[in-house]
């Protein structure tokens, strides 16, 4: 799975913001539930990103956490 927990949380915040900015009448007033699937360059490389409140205990992939800590913001 791609992305560190911090990266997934940040992506989730951006998606939430973009969805809210549409002001679509069918969207709920509170947090919007969504699932974003991202395919990586290889078949084994992928990520599922949900709205932040849907993931209370995120699973940790140490490889991704190390990659983020070496080169992330």
% of the chain at pLDDT higher than 90: 62
Convert 29-40 to b/e letters by CB count within 10 Å (16 or more is b): eeebeeeeeeee
Domain positions in the chain: 5-71
H or E element: which one contains 71?
A: helix 62-71
Taking alpha carbons only, the member of 68, 56, 33, 39 closest to residue 48 is 39
What pLDDT digit, counting tens, does each position of 23-67 carry?
A: 999 999 999 999 999 999 999 999 999 998 887 776 666 566 566
Q: What are phi and psi of 27, to 5 degrees?
A: -80, 150
């Amino acid at each position: 799975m791609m992305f560190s927990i911090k990266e997934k949380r940040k992506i989730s915040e951006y998606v939430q913001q973009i969805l809210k900015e549409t002001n679509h009448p069918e969207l709920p007033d509170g947090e919007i539930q969504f699932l974003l699937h991202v395919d990586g360059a290889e078949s084994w490389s992928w990520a599922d990103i949900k709205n932040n409140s849907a993931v209370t205990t995120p699973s940790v992939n140490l490889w991704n956490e190390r990659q983020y800590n070496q080169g992330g913001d």
